[in-house]
């Protein structure tokens, strides 16, 4: 019997799922994993069919409404993916429909919107005249369009008309406001292709038809767009030739052009070293076992990890299985990409946010249809819809960009563990500076540790020196100046790393102490010289840079703290004859500008490259022999228990960029904290030493990997209400602790979040810490359900951040 009821997870922030009746005509087609449109609270929304039932669950029979529309012909998600999505929804306390949305390419979900149209009464009033001027203006526009979305109307008449005004006109009978579907869906792109069918050429055809036919015959198959480039208006002859049966015309799905051709130098395929051979042997055993086999490759920069990934994938492909490769910010690593392209050619799909919506959709479909066996991308590639994943590789597994910081706050590395486990696949985490969690897991035997202690060909790691900036004046120490100068003379290249963009960090009036703050965020504005502005790096608020102090009219405004823009200027004035480049968000905002800078670096037309952490990512340029860290202190002071770890990782990775070629590399780290263990251990490339020094701190303070954290953050428009809600949350938390959680859970706060205001919203938080994930999750669920009632309609949101910890 055909199932009559479908369970739907709507793509909205609601935890519950809902049941709908399936209309007769849909029953043959609707399957689990397809998208449907369903009525929901007076709107129409997209949801995902997650189960089919014979009967409605008890107690909801009479309330059931019907599915309005079915959007897909084939399921977008299979049962394996659904199981994965369910796990994530559970772990991160995030609605299933929203989790699924996160995993699908953008542009697949249709949005329900309120649509305005004029009533007869409204039309009459418009024709008769005598309306208020603004009413007349708005009605005219609605009348002109017939139908227009409420959102668009508000945008069109911003500052002139409000939502409540529109609704009052509805009450007066001038307007209809209905739920409708805004169709902005991305669709596959098709092109017409023409094929030669053979047959008799001697049939009577014109000269032009003959030319067209001959050309197609030569090529066998051509696209219509090629054809129209070659011949003027080819439609007519085509039609005739088709009618004669000489040609056939069909439609073919095409991929929107993707610039993934390797543009950098090709990489030959090397023979593995004996170290690589040994590591690979282990991994291949894991792959052949077809069981969950997690590995952590701990290998210094340049030790040949990437070559191991490539060969492991070859093994997986040979088994008829698929591979997912996660890399941090793939758009920043064209070198890595071209190595994969060189090895696997077209068998590779790319998923990352640097692609346009259409491109991303096409790449996703190539995976979904099974056209490719390898998916490579940033964190969201973990949702690649493969059916038979044999390996998941996570390069630079410690990288913070694997954590999504908004909406669903998943950590790609951690969910990768789960996906690999569910798929009984091999998991390969790789890093020169593994996250503390992963290394701890390896120590505990949860991951197999594979060590590559040496660089390829025994190239030594760079020699690193620490400069105590308390004893130096200026931005650049003598030591760094000398090193840069020497490199210029030797025709070698240098990198200068500074983790802050802009000219000055902030501007201060020395007469009255005034600084410029962002009105939306609790930060100071950064001074940018190029467009003479002060900018907020969090919300993009910007104002022209002032000449005088607006408070005391003083003339002595001063830039404090330096950014990459200032550093670049400084270097240019120190070495006027030298080619200096800069790479940060400001110089790479245009598409491909990043690649242009790297190409200039590769070809040697940049001698010194100044940049933010963008320059740290996996580039391998043999002629770079010197790296200077202008300030190691920014990340050290960040209010986060991982700040020491991040600093160590960053410094080790930056220094690792030096000396990848024949010449011994050198690095200098400038700091005001020369005795800090993060800095000293990075100087010695001593990961194990750092790990052993950091672990006792984590243990003493009960931080991961010794505990799990859940942060409950309240974000609201009103300062007072957000604070009130936070206090309420604190009370609920206390009661829960008293009732049953007091033993296993510790609660910190509520208190204002580290950035108390962000993008115009006020932020409070409460942190729960505990060793048992089950207990912590139960506690969290109770907080969420307790707060759901409180929050309803108050303009405050509860945002939950489950700290990624080991989940095996
Ligand atoms: P990692 O990913 O650990 O930083 P890579 O795989 O990028 O290391 O290797 C560093 C350099 O050594 C690259 O230029 C790479 O082409 C080269 N390489 C890797 N494996 C070998 C090998 N077996 N023989 C020769 N060169 C190799
Ligand atoms: Zn701001």
For residues 789-800, give the mean pLDDT: 82
Beta strands in 183-315 (DSSP E): 189-196, 221-223, 247-254, 293-299
The pLDDT assigned to 808 comes to 55
Q: Is the pLDDT of residue 268 over 80?
A: no
Q: For residue 159, which phi and psi values (nearest 5 degrees)?
A: 80, -10
* Residues 437-467 as b or e (16 or more Cβ within 10 Å = b): bbbbbbeeeebeebebebbeeebebbebebb
In the block, tokens 């070698």 appear at 492
CA–centroid distance, 191 to ligand 2, in Å, is: 45
pLDDT band of residue 113 (cuts 50, 70, 90) is low
pLDDT band of residue 259 (cuts 50, 70, 90) is very low
- What does the pLDDT look like over 552-598, one tens digit per residue? 999 999 888 889 999 999 999 999 999 999 998 888 887 778 888 88
- What does the pLDDT look like over 712-750, one tens digit per residue? 999 998 899 999 999 999 999 999 999 988 889 999 989
The pLDDT assigned to 263 comes to 55
CA dihedral over 96, 102, 108, 114, signed as positive or negative: positive
**Pocket probe mutation, ligand 1, options 302, 397, 428, max atoms within 8 Å of Cβ:** 302
The pLDDT assigned to 36 comes to 93
Whether 688 and 430 have beta carbons less than 8 Å apart is answered as no
For residues 772-776, give the mean pLDDT: 89
For residues 184-208, give the mean pLDDT: 73
Average pLDDT value over all residues in the chain: 88
- Closest atom of ligand 1 to 273 CA is 23
The whole-angstrom separation of Cα 140 and Cα 134 is 10
3-state SS assignment for residue 579: coil
The whole-angstrom separation of Cα 441 and Cα 414 is 12
**Ordered DSSP codes for 518-539:** -SSSSSBPEEETTTTEEE-TTT
Whether 151 and 206 have beta carbons less than 8 Å apart is answered as no
CA–centroid distance, 516 to ligand 2, in Å, is: 11
* Residues 200-213 as b or e (16 or more Cβ within 10 Å = b): eeeeebeeebeebb
Lowest-pLDDT choice from 255-269, 498-512, 669-683: 255-269
**Pocket probe mutation, ligand 1, options 396, 456, 460, max atoms within 8 Å of Cβ:** 456
> Which residue owns the Cα nearest ligand 1 atom 19?
304
Determine what percent of the chain is predicted with pLDDT higher than 70. 94
Q: What residue ranges line ligand 1, CB within 6 angstroms?
A: 267, 270-273, 276, 299, 301-307, 456, 620
Q: Is the pLDDT of residue 274 over 90?
A: yes
Encoded tokens for 181: 């579907």
Q: Is the pLDDT of residue 172 over 70?
A: yes
- What does the pLDDT look like over 358-382, one tens digit per residue? 888 889 989 998 999 999 999 999 9
The pLDDT assigned to 260 comes to 47
Ligand nearest to the CA of 758: 2
Encoded tokens for 137: 């203006």
pTM: 0.83
CA–centroid distance, 456 to ligand 1, in Å, is: 6
Ligand nearest to the CA of 536: 2
- What does the pLDDT look like over 155-169, one tens digit per residue? 888 888 888 888 889
The whole-angstrom separation of Cα 738 and Cα 719 is 29
**Pocket probe mutation, ligand 1, options 620, 622, 659, max atoms within 8 Å of Cβ:** 620
CA–centroid distance, 267 to ligand 1, in Å, is: 10
Ligand nearest to the CA of 524: 2
The pLDDT assigned to 670 comes to 95
**Pocket probe mutation, ligand 1, options 306, 394, 661, 665, max atoms within 8 Å of Cβ:** 306
The whole-angstrom separation of Cα 158 and Cα 86 is 41
CA–centroid distance, 275 to ligand 1, in Å, is: 12
- CA 316 to centroid of chain Cα atoms: 26
Ligand nearest to the CA of 760: 2
CA–centroid distance, 385 to ligand 1, in Å, is: 30
For residues 627-655, give the mean pLDDT: 90
- Closest atom of ligand 1 to 308 CA is 6
In the block, tokens 């526009």 appear at 141
Crossing angle (nearest 10°) for helices 643-655 and 687-701: 170
- Closest atom of ligand 1 to 452 CA is 3
The pLDDT assigned to 700 comes to 92
Determine what percent of the chain is predicted with pLDDT higher than 90. 50
Whether 542 and 533 have beta carbons less than 8 Å apart is answered as yes
Q: For residue 417, which phi and psi values (nearest 5 degrees)?
A: -60, -45
> Which residue owns the Cα nearest ligand 1 atom 17?
304
**Ordered DSSP codes for 677-688:** HHHHHHHTT-HH
Whether 199 and 233 have beta carbons less than 8 Å apart is answered as no
Ligand nearest to the CA of 538: 2
Q: Is the pLDDT of residue 516 over 70?
A: yes
In terms of C-beta density within 10 A (0-12 exposed, 13-18 middle, 19 or more buried), how is residue 84 classed?
buried
CA–centroid distance, 801 to ligand 2, in Å, is: 22
Q: How many CA atoms lie within 13 A of 292 on its CB side?
A: 12
The pLDDT assigned to 233 comes to 80
């Amino acid at each position: 019997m055909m199932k009559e009821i479908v369970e739907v997870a709507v793509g909205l922030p609601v935890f519950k799922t809902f049941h709908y009746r399936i209309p007769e005509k849909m029953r043959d087609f609707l399957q689990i994993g397809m998208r449907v449109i369903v009525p929901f609270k007076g709107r129409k929304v997209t949801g995902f069919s997650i189960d089919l039932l014979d009967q409605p669950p008890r107690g909801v029979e009479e309330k059931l409404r019907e599915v309005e529309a079915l959007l897909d012909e084939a399921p977008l998600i299979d049962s394996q993916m659904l199981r994965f999505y369910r796990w994530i929804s559970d772990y991160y306390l995030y609605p299933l429909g929203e989790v699924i949305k996160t995993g699908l390419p953008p542009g697949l979900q249709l949005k329900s919107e309120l649509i305005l149209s004029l009533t007869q009464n409204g039309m009459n009033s418009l024709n008769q005249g005598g309306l208020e001027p603004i009413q007349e203006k708005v009605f005219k526009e609605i009348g002109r369009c017939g139908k227009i979305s409420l959102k668009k109307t508000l945008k069109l008449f911003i500052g002139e008309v409000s939502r409540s005004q529109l609704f009052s006109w509805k009450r007066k009978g001038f307007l209809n406001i209905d739920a409708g579907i805004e169709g902005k869906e991305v669709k596959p792109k098709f092109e017409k292709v023409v094929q030669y069918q053979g047959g008799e050429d001697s049939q009577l055809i014109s000269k032009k038809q003959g030319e067209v036919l001959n050309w197609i015959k030569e090529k066998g198959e051509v696209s219509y767009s090629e054809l129209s480039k070659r011949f003027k208006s080819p439609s007519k002859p085509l039609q005739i030739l088709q009618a004669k049966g000489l040609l056939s015309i069909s439609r073919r799905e095409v991929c929107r052009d993707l610039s993934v051709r390797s543009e950098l130098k090709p990489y030959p395929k090397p023979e593995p070293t004996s170290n690589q051979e040994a590591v690979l042997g282990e991994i291949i055993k894991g792959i052949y076992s077809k069981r969950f086999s997690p590995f952590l490759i701990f290998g210094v920069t340049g030790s040949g990890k990437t070559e191991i990934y490539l060969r492991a994938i070859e093994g997986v492909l040979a088994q008829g299985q698929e591979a997912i490769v996660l890399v941090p910010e793939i758009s920043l690593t064209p070198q890595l990409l071209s190595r994969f392209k060189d090895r696997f050619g077209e068998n590779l799909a790319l998923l990352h946010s640097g692609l346009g919506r259409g491109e991303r959709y096409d790449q996703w479909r190539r995976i979904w249809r099974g056209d490719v066996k390898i998916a490579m991308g940033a964190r969201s590639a973990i949702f690649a819809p493969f059916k038979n994943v044999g390996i998941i590789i996570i390069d630079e597994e410690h990288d913070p960009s694997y954590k999504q910081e908004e909406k669903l706050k998943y950590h790609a590395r951690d969910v990768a563990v789960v996906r690999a486990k569910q798929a009984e696949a091999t998991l390969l985490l790789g890093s020169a500076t593994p996250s503390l969690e992963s290394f701890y897991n390896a120590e505990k035997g949860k991951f197999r540790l594979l060590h590559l202690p040496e660089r390829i060909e025994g190239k030594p790691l760079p020699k690193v020196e620490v400069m105590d900036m308390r004893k130096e004046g200026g931005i650049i120490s003598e030591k760094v100046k000398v090193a840069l100068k020497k490199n210029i003379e030797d025709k070698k290249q240098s990198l200068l790393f500074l983790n802050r963009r802009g000219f000055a960090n902030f501007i201060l009036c020395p007469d009255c102490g005034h600084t410029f703050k962002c009105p939306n965020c609790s930060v100071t504005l950064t001074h940018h010289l190029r467009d003479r502005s002060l900018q907020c790096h969090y919300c993009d608020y910007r104002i022209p840079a002032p000449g005088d102090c607006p408070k005391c009219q003083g003339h002595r405004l001063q830039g404090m703290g330096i950014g990459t823009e200032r550093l670049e200027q400084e270097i240019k004035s120190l070495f006027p004859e030298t080619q200096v480049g800069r790479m940060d968000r400001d110089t790479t905002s245009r598409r491909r500008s990043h690649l242009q800078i790297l190409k200039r670096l590769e070809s040697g037309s940049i001698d010194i490259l100044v940049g933010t952490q963008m320059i740290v990512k996996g580039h391998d340029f043999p002629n770079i022999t010197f790296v200077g860290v202008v300030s190691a202190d920014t990340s050290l002071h960040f209010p986060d228990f991982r700040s020491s770890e991040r600093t160590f990782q960053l410094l080790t990775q930056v220094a690792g960029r030096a000396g990848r070629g024949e010449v011994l590399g050198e690095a200098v780290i400038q700091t005001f904290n020369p005795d800090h263990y993060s800095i000293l251990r990075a100087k010695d490339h001593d990961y194990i030493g750092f790990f052993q020094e950091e672990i006792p701190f984590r243990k003493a303070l009960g931080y991961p990997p010794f505990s799990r954290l859940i942060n409950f953050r309240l974000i609201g428009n009103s300062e007072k209400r957000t604070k009130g809600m936070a206090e309420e949350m604190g009370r609920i938390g206390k009661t829960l602790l008293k009732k049953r959680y007091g033993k296993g859970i510790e609660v910190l706060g509520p208190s204002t979040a580290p950035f108390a205001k962000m993008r115009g919203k006020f932020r409070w938080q409460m942190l729960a810490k505990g060793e048992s994930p089950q207990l912590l999750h139960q506690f969290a669920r109770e907080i969420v359900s307790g707060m759901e009632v409180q929050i309803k309609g108050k303009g405050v949101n509860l945002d939950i951040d489950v700290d990624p910890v080991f989940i095996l």
